[in-house]
Amino acid sequence: MGLFSRKPKLPPADRPPLHHDERVLAWAAVGNGEGDGVVVASNLGLWLPGRGERIGWHDVLKAVWSGRELTVTPADRVAERDGYLVVADCPAETYLLLDPGDLPHQVRARVTRSVAYTAHHPVPGGAGRVAARRVPGVDGLTWTVRYDPGTPTDDEAVAAETGRLVAAARAATAPANL
């Protein structure tokens, strides 16, 4: 593509059912481009082939671009505790993008921008990552904890320490003059 060339618009047949205030930022055909679907990045999240709903940027735990393939690991909401969600990795999904355009950049920028706070902490019997994410259209931050494999997530001591860690992180990130 030349300096001023633009990728053609997303064909109407490939357009996901966007929310009224949602707009397409970038897209790329998957596989050979012959009916394998498209990956669409919008201001609200990521639309992946074969899914009937968008994955919000705050629900993407990891996205890796190899130069040809985009691998996305969505979050699975495991439990809701007082003031935070416990999440785990869903299976990673990998898509071969033959003409990725701006899609990998948009995915990286949007996922990174959704993260307001992240820290890894030891807990009894393991460890976990406390994170605060920005959710489009929602005031404040959504707090999550992703435990390392092998951590006894249902243990009372783990839950108590996790609650303390989330409360401390919330206090440390709260605006001072409210």
| pLDDT top residue among 3 and 49 | 49
Which residues, other chains included, contact 2 with Cβ-Cβ below 8 Å and sequence gap of 6+?
A: none
Q: Which two tokens stand for residue 107?
A: 């995915």
pLDDT above 70 coverage of the chain, percent: 92
Could you report the per-residue pLDDT of 38-89, keeping only the tens digit for each?
999 999 999 999 888 999 999 999 999 999 999 999 999 999 999 999 999 9
Number of residues assigned to the chain: 178
User: Which tokens hold the place of 91?
Assistant: 């299976």
Q: Are 51 and 40 in contact (CB under 8 A)?
A: no
Mean pLDDT of the chain, nearest integer: 90
Task: Please give the single-letter amino acid code of residue 15.
Answer: R
Contacts of 164-173 with C-beta under 8 Å, sequence gap 24+, read 165/121, 165/123, 165/128, 165/130, 166/83, 166/84, 166/130, 167/83, 169/117, 169/119, 169/130, 169/132, 169/143, 170/83, 170/132, 170/143, 173/116, 173/117, 173/132, 173/141
Q: pLDDT value at position 105? A: 97
Alpha-carbon distance of 131 to 133, in angstroms, equals 6
Please write the tens of the pLDDT for every residue from 145-166.
Answer: 999 999 999 999 999 999 999 9
pLDDT at residue number 136: 84
Q: What are phi and psi of 51, to 5 degrees?
A: -110, 140
